[in-house]
Structure 1
Amino acid sequence: MGSLTALRAARPLEDVAVRVSGPLVLTASAMGHLRELGATVCHDGPACGGLARFALNSSGLGKVTANAAWAGVLRDADAADEATVQAATGVMAVHGRRDGTPRGLAVDYAATCASVLTVAGLLAALVGHARGRGAGHVSTGADRAALLTVSQYLAAASAPEAETVPVAPGGPPFTAADGTRFELEALEPGVWAGFWRALGALPEAIRSGWPPFQFRYATACAPLPEALHAITRDVSWSRIQQAAAISGAEVCAVHRLDVGGADPGPPWRIEARTTQWAGTAAGPTPEPGGPLAGLTVLEAGRRIQAPLAAHLLRLLGADVVRIEPPGGDPLRGMPPCCLDVSARWLALNRHKRAVEIDIKSPAGQAELLELAAGADVFLHNWAPGKAEQLGLDNETLGALNPGLVYAYTSGWAGRLPDPPIGTDFMVQARMGIGEAVRSADEPTAPSLMTLIDVLGGLLGAEAILAGLLLRERTGTGVQVESSLLGAAETLTKAAGHQRRHAGFRKPLRTADGWIAPTDQSAAAAQAHAPQLAELPTDQALTALRESGLTATAVTTDLASLPADPRLRASLGHDAHGSLTVPSPWRFS
């Protein structure tokens, strides 16, 4: 453990000064998070070339610098802004699956993710400093962040097996007879069937609709039978709500984007315990150079949010131990597979160790407590109240291990009255993300790309790193909670106060594909649209560039990305043959 400061900081970056320069699109979220963590932040204005720079200085923590750019692995010409980053990395392709054509996210998603990852990288470097293995500089790129956000989709597209459900246009939201657009959540087939039976759907439509609906998290589309959409259009919103209540399903009307209210505050909660900590638990060091090498993370996570947070900690050098049910995580076999292991599962869980524990049994709970006694971090995303029910809550584990960082990645953080179930698409619907991600000429619809789960995972890692740094500074264990609600609020802050204009970030057709101009070049490029539609993509790009405009080709086939010369062979493969994306950080 690093030496304790006399300050015993209530926030991990108290007494830290940070000077920031560069465009607000790459710095605003980061500056807000740094301030919430206690730092004094000064923004010096834009930097040359759109590069964001962060210089952190503290007498107790030393000096660390960071760079955030649009291009980290892509060429500058192909990653000049948010639009071109989304186009080149496959984000437009994934977001557009529901509609059948590539579409840009109207919100600055890659930049927001890069901003959060910049703060996480700075915190990791400071934790490393306190432990005698820190780096002085960290860099990331919006393109690296974007590749991370689509890593599961890339891995699945590059697997030797095909998807078990079609990747084709279609999906929620549904529309009621009065025009109410709504999202539906059903985590079990019986609940799904019960909801549709209550509305009078035919058995065949119910059966054929379940697989694409169940896998929409994985495929970013849900080609449902038209009969299901037709049924909701013929019944009232109140009847739909009644069918949900009868079946146990959840429905949520698609809300408008509300950015005029009070500032929601930080996207996480960080609280230090009062009990002093004796030292750091020693553990394996799979990546000797990483700032978290020697730290052990116990992860009891499902789906994306918690596993992604733990994956990022592993990339930083931590030894991550997954707590899986007897027989192993059922998602290991989710198709498509590489050497009998799910490509999507590997994208979030490769190189983690696994321990099978029945946490519902007294013996399993005792085994987990024993593991937690020697861990540095315990992370879960269980349903509200489950940790207390199992006797695996912060109070219990903190009393056993006073130096533990107890991390909970939740859905709603207990902040909204009577919220729907805390899953990605329900949070998108409730928080107005469906309006933020689409331009003014498109109907509001949450993206079927798991935007909030992924950003929630990034925020979870950021919160844990802040907790680890606070532990180093105060000598006490820490409890942290991040949430999908916090992720949604982070993204809607980035959306600003105006809905994007009609046609915003709409790619232009070429004779054999699509191109995406930068936001600054879009209006002028649109004037060339008829001529571009008759040219092959490479000639269309040349024509635009000769006119002084900036654009790049839109990736539409994710399986083609590993051979894309724009990425300069930055994508690799693991021991199973599953596609890997580069780490979002470089430390030096």
Structure 2
Amino acid sequence: MASPATTQTVRPLDTLRFDTSGPPQITSVIADHLRLLGARTDRPAHGDASTGTATDTGGTTLTGCGFEPAHASATWADPLSGLVDEATVQAATGIMAVHGRRDGGPRGLAVDYAATATGVLAVQGLLAALVGQARGGAARAVSTSADRAGLLAVSQYLAATGADEGEAAELAPGGPPFTSADGVLFELETLDPGAWAAFWKALEAPPEALRAGWRPFQFRYATACAPFPAALHLTARSHPWERIRRAAAAYGTEVCALHPLAQRAAERAAERDGAAPWSLSRSATGRLTARSARLPGAAPSGGPLAGLTVLEAGRRIQAPLAAHLLGLLGADVIRIEPPGGDPLRGMPPACSGISARWLALNRGKQAVEIDIKREADRRRLRELAAGADVFLHNWAPGKAAELGLDSGDLARVNPALVYAYTSGWADRIEDAPMGTDFMVQARTGVGEAVRPEGEAPAPSLMTLLDVLGGLLGAEAVLAGLLLRERSGHGVRVDSSLLGAADTLTAPALRRAARGQNPRRPAGFRLPRPTADGWLAPADADARAVADHDLGGLSTTEALARLHEHGLTATAVTTELSDLHHDPRFPGSISRDAHGAPAVPDPWSFV
């Protein structure tokens, strides 16, 4: 079919209309993002939704402007699994187990993390289906579910359970935030062991404590816990906040006080275009010629992105995950790695000599070693970009421009390029700290949102924003590819961990903006202990379940008793390795060529 392009298109879904129905926690995210991408609907915007069950059926359909209708279904899970809402999905997929490591037992996130990820995945599927159509492919329907989103969210932690060796750091309770003498809760960040040591020495921490604390601090991104020596917390409590800030500034570490949701809500109200988790802008190099556009006309034989090439220069999680998702959709992904390869390939624990966590994000990608500090290698990178469809990176702010590899530089060699930058802050916060997952959680109120009322705020040590930021990065690239197809211009797209934080906390921020308490009530999504494990009630049944004494019953017996009373709950996965044989996910977990556990693709296309 002919590409449904129009020179008037300024957003990828302009002139398209959508209709959506289903679980409100999921569909509210879908509707918000489709509107921001330009689609219109006659339905009113969703309000806050705290419940939604697997019996909510339906889907989302996009129509208009020469496209065949694109349909996406997004549900909680297979109805036979017994997973009916956010709480039961978090429990079954291991999200509660990973988030609860710092506390010594499973805990539910007080935000709708699985639902939010599912909504973003559904929008990705719709965008990918339209890109495939515009490139000559047949119309496709896509389905996704919250249980798949949950498995994707824990995929790195799950991969480590199949490694040939144990974790590099202890899995035990503990971690930030720290508390100052005057009661300020704060996060600390540094990637330099020397800076870590100098900071704590300045605060007169015992030498053995600062030495013992570095390793759990360094690996907390991988383990979701950080069992520091108690002496470090005692040291922080012995100094006022200003003294701690001065020590951090003097010795190259960064500290960030935990900010309340109300403050972030006020900031967003004052931000221009602050609602969007990403931004898209057309290339300034002018309209593409037929020769330079390089847009394939034949129907792709594989996924909707088959035949497209993605160059990825990513570190850690955010950009590599975004590129991984694009690869799952059919694109050929080429990683740009430094001489000697990505050092994270060797991060323990390993499967067949390769980091299990690295495999979870990078399996199936090609790799090219390029030293971006050398002009000859930068020329080589520009040559690769000249033949690519997407260039994706998450370098430090300003680095691309310094190297002559910013969007304008690469547009000169490839005006058809979709240039994608995944950052921490998107230059939207003045005096922002280092743009890492836990610092962004601290600065944006996520630490308050993930804990219910009555508990001290604490950013989750599960990499919530890195994962959701990767999902948003892939969504932004797909929006850019569709805008390129429709407008005939190259596109720059920007996404960020800040956008991920605002997307995740959107319901809480709306409550704060209305002057309401943004936090969930005390005890929200707190699993119940049984004689041999834990169970999690569905959100709608949590109060009724609290009336039952289950402590002396096995999990199986407790679930049967609740079922007799018409109440819904599910067993909490506490060991991720058990997911391989969990009847709620039959056949979902496989192993890759290196023996590392691999979760299923988050979408199915038909």
TM-score after normalising by structure 2: 0.94
Cα separation, partners in 2 of 1:332 and 1:282, compared to 1, 3 Å: farther
CA distance, structure 1, for counterparts of residue 369 and residue 576 of structure 2: 34
- Residue 55 of structure 1 is matched in structure 2 by 61
Aligned equivalent of 1:525, options 530, 545, 567: 545
Cα separation, partners in 2 of 1:60 and 1:8, compared to 1, 3 Å: farther
Aligned equivalent of 1:71, options 62, 68, 77: 77
Which amino acid is the alignment partner of residue 79 of structure 1?
L
- Residue 378 of structure 1 is matched in structure 2 by 391
Contact 1:280/1:403 (8 A) holds in 2: yes
Please say if 1:403 is aligned against 2:403: no
Determine helix, strand or coil for the equivalent of 1:565: coil
Determine helix, strand or coil for the equivalent of 1:270: strand
Contact 2:573/2:579 (8 A) holds in 1: yes
Question: How big is the shift at 1:50?
Answer: 1.5
Cα separation, partners in 2 of 1:48 and 1:567, compared to 1, 3 Å: closer
Aligned equivalent of 1:256, options 240, 245, 260: 260
CA distance, structure 2, for counterparts of residue 549 and residue 4 of structure 1: 50
CA distance, structure 1, for counterparts of residue 85 and residue 54 of structure 2: 14
CA distance, structure 2, for counterparts of residue 43 and residue 116 of structure 1: 19
Question: How big is the shift at 1:48?
Answer: 8.5
Which amino acid is the alignment partner of residue 409 of structure 2?
T
Which amino acid is the alignment partner of residue 597 of structure 2?
L
Aligned equivalent of 1:351, options 359, 364, 367: 364
Cα separation, partners in 2 of 1:227 and 1:18, compared to 1, 3 Å: same
Contact 1:112/1:494 (8 A) holds in 2: no
Aligned equivalent of 1:132, options 129, 132, 136: 136
Aligned equivalent of 2:276, options 266, 270, 276: 266
Contact 1:114/1:142 (8 A) holds in 2: yes
CA distance, structure 1, for counterparts of residue 265 and residue 402 of structure 2: 38
Report matched runs for 1:367-446 at 5 Å: 367-446=380-459
Question: How big is the shift at 1:206?
Answer: 1.3
Which amino acid is the alignment partner of residue 513 of structure 1?
G
- Residue 491 of structure 1 is matched in structure 2 by 504
Runs (4+) of structure 1 exceeding 6 A deviation are: 44-48
Contact 2:3/2:136 (8 A) holds in 1: no
Report matched runs for 1:101-500 at 5 Å: 101-258=105-262, 260-261=265-266, 262-263=268-269, 264-274=274-284, 275-277=286-288, 278=290, 279=292, 281=294, 288-495=301-508, 496-497=510-511, 498-500=518-520
- Residue 35 of structure 1 is matched in structure 2 by 35
Q: What are the Cα deviations for residues 372-413 of structure 1, in whole angstroms up to 9, with x where unaligned?
A: 000000000001000011110001001110000000001110
Which amino acid is the alignment partner of residue 371 of structure 1?
L
CA distance, structure 1, for counterparts of residue 135 and residue 539 of structure 2: 43
Q: What are the Cα deviations for residues 432-490 of structure 1, in whole angstroms up to 9, with x where unaligned?
A: 00110011121100000000111100000000000000000011100000011111110
Contact 1:571/1:581 (8 A) holds in 2: yes
CA distance, structure 1, for counterparts of residue 6 and residue 590 of structure 2: 46
Q: What are the Cα deviations for residues 355-374 of structure 1, in whole angstroms up to 9, with x where unaligned?
A: 00001111110110110000
Question: How big is the shift at 1:282?
Answer: 8.2
CA distance, structure 2, for counterparts of residue 63 and residue 147 of structure 1: 29
Determine helix, strand or coil for the equivalent of 1:269: strand
CA distance, structure 2, for counterparts of residue 23 and residue 129 of structure 1: 27
CA distance, structure 2, for counterparts of residue 545 and residue 3 of structure 1: 53
Which amino acid is the alignment partner of residue 155 of structure 1?
A
CA distance, structure 2, for counterparts of residue 4 and residue 19 of structure 1: 20
Question: How big is the shift at 1:337?
Answer: 0.5
- Residue 599 of structure 2 is matched in structure 1 by 581
Cα separation, partners in 2 of 1:48 and 1:413, compared to 1, 3 Å: closer
CA distance, structure 1, for counterparts of residue 344 and residue 53 of structure 2: 45
Q: CA RMSD in A?
A: 1.7
- Residue 505 of structure 1 is matched in structure 2 by 525
Contact 2:307/2:331 (8 A) holds in 1: yes
Which amino acid is the alignment partner of residue 546 of structure 2?
Q
CA distance, structure 2, for counterparts of residue 59 and residue 221 of structure 1: 50
Q: Percent identity?
A: 62
Cα separation, partners in 2 of 1:445 and 1:505, compared to 1, 3 Å: same
- Any unmatched runs of 5+ in structure 2? 47-51, 512-517
Contact 2:54/2:75 (8 A) holds in 1: no
Cα separation, partners in 2 of 1:52 and 1:186, compared to 1, 3 Å: farther
Question: How big is the shift at 1:160?
Answer: 2.5
Question: How big is the shift at 1:586?
Answer: 0.6
Cα separation, partners in 2 of 1:134 and 1:160, compared to 1, 3 Å: farther
Question: How big is the shift at 1:158?
Answer: 2.3
Determine helix, strand or coil for the equivalent of 2:540: coil
Number of positions where the alignment pairs a residue of Structure 1 with one of Structure 2: 582
Determine helix, strand or coil for the equivalent of 1:482: strand
Question: How big is the shift at 1:318?
Answer: 0.2
CA distance, structure 2, for counterparts of residue 540 and residue 427 of structure 1: 39
Question: How big is the shift at 1:62?
Answer: 2.2
CA distance, structure 1, for counterparts of residue 301 and residue 170 of structure 2: 43
Cα separation, partners in 2 of 1:396 and 1:469, compared to 1, 3 Å: same
Question: How big is the shift at 1:79?
Answer: 1.3
- Any unmatched runs of 5+ in structure 1? none
Question: How big is the shift at 1:78?
Answer: 2.7
Question: How big is the shift at 1:302?
Answer: 0.3
Bigger shift: residues 52-61 or 507-516: 52-61
- Residue 22 of structure 1 is matched in structure 2 by 22
Contact 2:54/2:77 (8 A) holds in 1: no
Determine helix, strand or coil for the equivalent of 1:43: coil
CA distance, structure 1, for counterparts of residue 326 and residue 265 of structure 2: 35
- Residue 572 of structure 1 is matched in structure 2 by 590
TM-score after normalising by structure 1: 0.96
CA distance, structure 1, for counterparts of residue 146 and residue 158 of structure 2: 17
Contact 1:106/1:437 (8 A) holds in 2: yes
- Residue 80 of structure 1 is matched in structure 2 by 84
Determine helix, strand or coil for the equivalent of 1:118: helix
Contact 1:300/1:324 (8 A) holds in 2: yes
CA distance, structure 1, for counterparts of residue 199 and residue 2 of structure 2: 55
Contact 2:99/2:107 (8 A) holds in 1: yes
Question: How big is the shift at 1:336?
Answer: 0.7
Which amino acid is the alignment partner of residue 428 of structure 1?
Q
Cα separation, partners in 2 of 1:145 and 1:47, compared to 1, 3 Å: closer
Determine helix, strand or coil for the equivalent of 1:399: helix
Q: What are the Cα deviations for residues 175-224 of structure 1, in whole angstroms up to 9, with x where unaligned?
A: 00001000000111111111111111122111111110000000000000
CA distance, structure 2, for counterparts of residue 42 and residue 211 of structure 1: 54
Please say if 1:516 is aligned against 2:522: no
CA distance, structure 2, for counterparts of residue 586 and residue 3 of structure 1: 24
Contact 1:359/1:365 (8 A) holds in 2: yes
Contact 2:72/2:143 (8 A) holds in 1: yes
Contact 1:29/1:494 (8 A) holds in 2: no
CA distance, structure 1, for counterparts of residue 222 and residue 254 of structure 2: 20
Bigger shift: residues 91-100 or 254-263: 254-263
Contact 2:53/2:84 (8 A) holds in 1: no
